[in-house]
A and B are shown apart, each in its own frame.
Chain A
Amino acid sequence: MENLYRLGIAGILIMVLILLDCGDNSSKKQMAPSITVYTALESELVTEYLKSFTKHHPDINVRIIRESTGIITARLLAEKGNPQADVVWGTAASSMLILDEQGLLEPYAPKGLEQILPQFKSEKPVPTWVGMTAWETAFVVNTVEIAKLGISASDIKGYEDLLRPQLRGQVTMPNPNSSGTGLLTVAGVLQLRGRDGEAGWEYLTRLHDNIKQYTHSGSKPARMAGSGECVVGVSFGYAGISQKQKGAPVEIVFPAEGSGWDLEANALIRKPGISSSAKIFLDWAISDDAMNSYRVSYPIITNGKGGNYEGFDGDPIKQLIPNDLGWIAGNRESILEKWVSKFDGKTESR
């Protein structure tokens, strides 16, 4: 019995120590100015990019929360009553439009704003969000698996090529209801085919026959193509390129007709007591130094001085279709509802 009590007391002491320790970590760091940054950038890129920030501002402690675009946006919306984040960094412009509409964003013109091309920042006089990089629809083709179907990767050039009968049940694309990439691809197809008419929907209906799975994540189709789980993954450029770098037998194809796109954008969160460090971070986030590190993995940076990109001949910005983000935001709900009723309801497993 006595032993049991001693064990219990020792247990309580250990637990209190752990609790104190967990609390302690954060309080120590809070001595230095500290900002909380929410981001949807890929984890490995966050680590890479932040090196430049810590070099310039070693005194500012950046606390990162990284989640997928959907979760980050949902978290920001749910925290609306008492915002926890100071800055949103590298999160879809389509999300920024929603956050802005809900009054979560504080207008701020970061240093060097004039260098950003006009189509890549919010239209307000003092912008509520500013783009840093763009990402765009790309097809990731598994060269080994597609050869087994009797076509070669170089046969896949544009959207029509995804309708080939050999590819029946072999194409994967993200669900626009849960993935930003899915939304920009669908919106891109619709805009390429006369926006409000039925031509875009007809294409999507025919594509549906070849779809193996609609995924919840935009990079997953690229990953599935990389591991041979599907033959063609409709995804975005960087996702495909990182698969290739890791050794997957894939080719990245940018559709000849042009790609739908969205931006990774930055914004200041509206809250009482906005920290000056948050503004310093936003200034850095579009500085030349930051842009140079984005350039390594993103061909399209919003000051127009992009890098060389596999699969592009010449200026990658030309690959982007004239995209109307305002139209997408305004029609988002009706597009998604129509998409759900056409394709999401067909739920038989393939």
Chain B
Amino acid sequence: MTRYSLRRRLVRFSAAHFGVLFFVLAAFTVVFILPLLSLFSQAFTNDAGVWAGLANYKRYFSSPALSVSVWNTVHISLLTTLFSTTLGFFYAYAVTRTAIPGKKIFTYAALLPIFIPTVVQALGLVYIFGRQGIITQLGFDISLYGRNGIVIAETIYTFPSAFLLFYTAFQFVDGRLYEVCNVMGVKPLKCFFHVTLPEMKYAIVNAVFVCFTLAFTDFGAPKVIGGNYNVLATDVYKQVAGQFNMSMGAVVGTLLLIPAVLSFIVGRFISTHNSGAMSAKTTALTIKENRLRDMLYFILCAAVSASFLFLVAALCVGAFTAFYPYDMSFTLKYFTFTESRGGLQAFFNSISMSALTAFFGTVFVFLAAYMIEKTDGYGLLTKYGKLLSLLPLAVPGMVIGISYIFFFNSPANPLNFIYGTVAILVLSNIVHYFSVPYLTAAGAFKKLDKEFEIVAESMKIPRWQTFFRVSIPLSANAVAEVAMYLFVNSMVTVSALVFLFSADFKIAAVAITHMEEAGENSQAAAMSILIIIVNIIVRALYELVIKFNKHKQSARESM
């Protein structure tokens, strides 16, 4: 940063504010950028640790068997994005814009996949579409292992994210626009193309990038049902845990960052003016009656949510039958878990780890979002902060896990003491799942009226008091949402933690991977049912908080 811009910045806001912003960014750099650099620097060195420039990349791209993974990954990510954003769009449209019955149930059903580890989603697909699967037995063989399986699994995996983005966006579209359409006699289809689509532009761009990046970097589904179809994420695994070639692993790891960097650049062009905010004059939409439309959308919603429920039901079949499909008698034996995997304690460990992640993660996310979003001016610092907030989305967990070993296990690192404790698990989870909560928090802050701060400033109320007394209470729903998101994801994530968990603190999702690898699908299904139950309870708690807030708000308004 030049001295000039630094001086200008210091004039604009207080030293304390600058200090906190600096601290937040520095902390994030230490727990995210430095570990990544310690791994990625190996992409440019040879086996002996000597600088090799781009030699590793040359070798990677000159091997056709390896570089074909790049195109495979792009291919499945594009297909996934297409399916998942289209489905998510119309599903969200159905529960916000039509008069179908059971909207609440459909909304909850859409979120089911985020409660289940991806390895287990893939397992569920095997129960349904595998060679002995329920559907395959009926005569429909979709040849699950390979591209088809990956695309189905990734679509299920990314659907909730797409749905949530559209669901929120639809709620903010001004109902008056449609009244105008109505009054002017514009045909519904024309209205859709000229009002709905433009209004949803930003949500669509966001959903496309989120789905693409998630599918691009996911490892669980390709590992279980990828068959011979190689993608970048499984290549990292093969390089690191098969050939023990950290340099090549790092090369592939850097390639995985490309979509996030692209989306940051594109995002800078598009989101300069934000349309998400609700003005005071916005009116809610009145839904017109249309039998045919409702019927079509009802079928869509029913089909999608039925297939998710089917997935969970298939897991239950796996967990409660003695030996699917050859011995279908009922059993509870799979709910006793092997001691060396941590037994049932692993499940409780997961709960406390997720609670810690939810708590500290929420604090950090809101602090970071407030400091970055509520800082006026477009200094380098806030730009850097915005890039930092997006990057974690693109870094596969495995890359975070290994880079944490390199960085935190080094005896020279003053933070070395957290290695092998629950703290490093919590830290890696917060970093891994930072991006989406950040967007939620930033969105919540953007909707707050700037006038609060102007008033507070003119009354000489310190910034931190405004933060705690105004900004946070007004964003209570977003706080609950972020905490829930972090909790639920920490319960199901595996890829980073596989390298970091300690002998004293084993966790359930890692145990599930071991069970799947050892072929104990039924135990894996049993453990994931426990995880699903906890996640549903947490989700229900979140709904209660939202309801409570609504009550309080309406009570306040009626005063």
Contact = CB atoms under 8 A, between A and B. Distances in A.
B240 A15 contact: no
Interface string B220-232: 0001000111100
Interface stretch (B82-90, B324-332, B447-455, B529-537): B324-332
A149 interface: no
A345 B244 contact: no
A77 B244 contact: yes
A223 to B, nearest CB: 3
B410 A78 contact: no
Interface range on chain B (Cβ under 8 Å from partner)? 35 or more
A219 B516 CA distance: 10
30 contacts: A26-B502, A26-B504, A43-B338, A44-B338, A64-B503, A67-B514, A68-B514, A68-B517, A74-B402, A75-B405, A175-B238, A177-B238, A178-B241, A216-B238, A226-B519, A227-B132, A227-B325, A229-B132, A249-B326, A336-B242, A341-B63, A344-B65, A345-B64, A346-B228, A347-B72, A348-B228, A349-B145, A349-B147, A349-B227, A350-B145
Contact of A47 (B64, B65, B340, B410): B340
Interface in A306-337: 333, 336-337
Interface in B515-543: 517-519, 521
Given A82-B409, A82-B411, A336-B243, A18 B514 contact: no
Contacts of B326: 144, 228, 247-249
Nearest to B413: A82
B444 interface: no
Contact of B230 (A21, A217, A347): A347
A350 B147 CA distance: 9
B467 interface: no
A42 B230 contact: no
A222 B519 contact: yes
A22 B425 CA distance: 12
Given A229-B130, A230-B131, A349-B147, A71 B504 contact: no
A345 B339 CA distance: 40
B110 to A, nearest CB: 28
Interface stretch (B15-23, B274-282, B416-424): B416-424
A36 B503 contact: yes
Interface in B233-269: 234, 237-238, 240-244, 246
A190 to B, nearest CB: 18
A19 B240 contact: no
Contact of A349 (B148, B402, B423, B514): B148
Given A177-B238, A222-B519, A347 B228 contact: yes
B499 interface: yes
Interface in B96-151: 126, 130-132, 143, 145-149
A113 to B, nearest CB: 27
A350 B519 contact: no
B43 to A, nearest CB: 15
B473 A82 contact: no
B422 A22 contact: yes
Interface in A61-100: 63-68, 70-71, 73-75, 77-79, 81-82, 84, 98
B76 to A, nearest CB: 11
B355 interface: yes
Contacts of B63: 337, 340-341
Interface string B488-521: 0000000000110111110000000010011101
B322 interface: yes
Contacts of A1: 469, 473
Contact of A178 (B66, B238, B498): B238
A220 interface: yes
Interface in B383-430: 402, 405-406, 409-411, 416, 419-423
B206 interface: no
A214 B225 CA distance: 10
A73 B241 contact: yes
Nearest to A46: B340
Contact of B244 (A74, A175, A179, A216): A74
A178 B132 CA distance: 26
Contacts of A4: 473
A160 B481 CA distance: 59
A44 to B, nearest CB: 5
A81 B340 contact: no
A246 interface: yes
Contact of A71 (B131, B241, B521): B241
A65 B411 contact: no
Contacts of B505: 22, 25-26
A197 interface: no
A98 B243 CA distance: 10
Indicate the size class of the contact surface on chain A: 35 or more
A22 B327 CA distance: 41
Interface in A199-223: 211-214, 216-217, 219-220, 222-223
A222 to B, nearest CB: 7
B171 interface: no
In the A-B complex, the 3 residue pairs with the smallest Cβ-Cβ separation, listed nearest first, are A349-B146, A223-B519, A63-B503
Contacts of A18: 352, 355-356
A11 interface: yes
Nearest to A21: B352
Contacts of B228: 211, 213-214, 343-344, 346-350
B504 A42 contact: no
B339 A47 contact: yes
A213 B146 CA distance: 9
B503 A229 contact: no
Contacts of A65: 501-503
B502 A345 contact: no
A84 B409 contact: yes
A15 B147 contact: no
Contacts of A67: 498, 514
A347 B229 contact: yes
Nearest to B355: A18
A85 to B, nearest CB: 9
Nearest to B517: A217
A151 B406 CA distance: 53
A213 B360 CA distance: 43
Interface string A173-190: 001011100000000000
B405 A78 contact: yes
A78 B352 contact: no
A19 to B, nearest CB: 7
A75 B503 CA distance: 13
Contacts of A226: 519
Contacts of A195: none
Contacts of B143: 349-350
Nearest to A35: B503
B234 A19 contact: no
B28 interface: no
Most buried by A among B145, B149, B229, B237: B145
A66 B340 contact: yes
Interface in A1-34: 1, 4, 11-12, 15, 18-19, 21-23, 25-26, 29
A43 B341 contact: yes
A144 B388 CA distance: 55
B186 interface: no
A253 interface: no
B68 interface: yes
B421 A349 contact: no
